[in-house]
Structures are given as C-alpha cells and as structure tokens.
Amino acid sequence: MSRLYLYGITRPREVPERLREQKVFLVEADERAAVVSELGEGPVEATRRNLLAHADVVEQLHEDAVVLPARFGYVLEGQEEALELLALPEIEHLLELHEGTCELTLRGKYEESVLAEVGADLQPLRDAYRVSPSVDAGIALGEAVGEALAARRAHDQSLVLGALGPLVLDVVAGDPASELAAFDLALLVERGAVESVEKQVEELASRLSPPLHFRLVGPLPPYSFVRLAMPAVA
C-alpha cells in the first residue's frame, strides 16, 4: 500500500499528458476523483519547488473543469483513504457548488506617495517632527500616519468591493501583508464573469491609481472557498 500525495478533488476525466508525465493520476469513485501522486517515505517538504508543483497541478486541471484544491501537505495512506474521502457528502456538495466558478485574487498596494496624501491633515505633527526630529515626535507622527493609512485602506477596499460586488459570488478579505499593502481579496466569480471583473478593475485603476497598484491573478481554482463544514473528529 503506497502513500499518496493529495492535490485536490475533481470529476473523473482524462489527466492531461503533461501531468501524466509527472505521475499524477486519479483515484475515482462514482462521479468524484482524488488527484494524487505516489509518495515515498518521510514527510512532505514545504519547498518552493513542491509548493509550485502543487499549484501547477490543480491550476492546470482547473482549466477544463471543477477542482477543489487541497491545502498543501495532505498525505493519504493508500487508495482506501482516498475512497473514504471521496464518499463524504460534503465533497459532492462542494463539487456541485463550484461547477463553473473560479477564484480571482486581487491585491492592492500603494506607492509610498500615499503617505504624503494621508498625512496631509497632520500638519502640526509634521511640523513638530521637522523642528525636532526626536523618536517621540517620530512615533507620534508615524502612528497618526498609520491610522490615516488604515482608514484609507478601509475606504479603498470598500470602494473596490462596492464596484465588484455585483460581479462576485463571494469574497474573502485577507489582512494586508506589508506596510504599503492596501487589500488582499479572493473573489469567487463565474468563469464567464472574469472579463467583466477585468474591465471593472481597469475602471477602478483609472480612479484610484496612482497611488494604488493592482495585481489580478486568475482564473484559479477556488482555493479560498472550499471550507468543509463538518464536525472535527478527535
């Protein structure tokens, strides 16, 4: 009984040549299939190569049909376990839910000039810091700038969500992951709506850039929308 690395779950179909060459295959049960490859002994290493390989497999399969991407690192102890997994009613439910959907990730990042914009109303603190650039004055000013930037983030994110709202089925908003990050949004959309989202992002950029830069990635498998609502088993 060999161990299997799990990439995700899909509907039974032919695996593309390129993935077959990488020893990726399906374990099928009725209308559901686990996307796996055989794995040697030992744990899975979270290397750059392995992470990108995982993404490559689920994203290539997603080009043609629904894929529920697994989180990185799941190992099945043989085909039996794959079949048990496929038998979960939740899996069928999610496959039906995501038939025809995809995820777009939309990240916003500010140019540094945003700091001057949000700091425009902080003249007394700015003057104080310029006259006497002490650590305390710097913290006082920087903290105020940070608050103003947070307000700007919230404002811009709600503007973006408001504009995209009619086009998206669901949204997951992550936390900004760097000082000048504006927002990090996962958007669940119909595959047919991708182009409309692109247009809307262009429209948003014409209003918000500069200082805002957008990065739009997709159509991707619904990475952020595959939560299983099932009880945790101890």
Partner 1 sequence: MQRESSAGYITRAPRSSGLADVLEILLDRGLVIDAYVRVSLVGIELLTVDLRIVIASVDTYLRFAEAVNRLDLRQVDDSKSVPDLFEKGGEEMAETKTKGAVEGGMDAIKEKVGLGGSGDDDDEDDDKERSRSGSRSRGNNR
In angstroms, what is the minimal distance from the CB of 144 to partner 1?
9
Subset of residues 84 to 103 that bind partner 1, contact rule: CB under 8 A:
84-85, 88, 94
- The residue within the footprint of partner 1, chosen from 89, 166, 177, 195 (CB under 8 A), is 177
Q: Which is nearer to partner 1, 88 or 167 (CB)?
A: 88
Binding span for partner 1 by CB under 8 A among 13-21, 24-32, 77-85, 156-164: 77-85
DSSP-assigned beta bridge partners for residue 188:
103, 170
In angstroms, what is the minimal distance from the CB of 231 to partner 1?
7
In angstroms, what is the minimal distance from the CB of 13 to partner 1?
19
- The residue within the footprint of partner 1, chosen from 126, 159, 170, 196 (CB under 8 A), is 126
C-alpha to C-alpha distance for 1 and 212, rounded to whole angstroms: 53
Q: Which is nearer to partner 1, 17 or 112 (CB)?
A: 112
Element of type H or E holding 34: strand 32-39
In angstroms, what is the minimal distance from the CB of 43 to partner 1?
5
Could you say whether residue 40 binds partner 1 (CB under 8 A)? no
Q: Which residues of 60-84 are buried (b: 16+ CB within 10 A; e: fewer)?
A: bbbeeebbbbbeeeeebeeeebbbe
- The residue within the footprint of partner 1, chosen from 21, 112, 166, 192 (CB under 8 A), is 112
Helix (H, G, I), strand (E, B) or coil at 190: strand
Could you say whether residue 152 binds partner 1 (CB under 8 A)? no
In angstroms, what is the minimal distance from the CB of 206 to partner 1?
4
Q: Which is nearer to partner 1, 15 or 36 (CB)?
A: 36
SS (H, E, C) 168-184: CCEEEEECCCCCCEEEE
- The residue within the footprint of partner 1, chosen from 68, 164, 187, 189 (CB under 8 A), is 68
C-alpha to C-alpha distance for 146 and 161, rounded to whole angstroms: 22
- The residue within the footprint of partner 1, chosen from 23, 52, 78, 155 (CB under 8 A), is 52
* Residue-wise DSSP of 126-165: HHHHHHS--HHHHHHHHHHHHHHHHHHHHHHHHHHHHHHG
Q: Which is nearer to partner 1, 40 or 166 (CB)?
A: 40
- The answer to whether residues 104 and 95 touch, using CB atoms and an 8 Å cutoff, is no
C-alpha to C-alpha distance for 128 and 227, rounded to whole angstroms: 50
φ and ψ of 101, to 5 deg: -105, 165
- The residue within the footprint of partner 1, chosen from 2, 80, 151, 228 (CB under 8 A), is 228
Could you say whether residue 151 binds partner 1 (CB under 8 A)? no
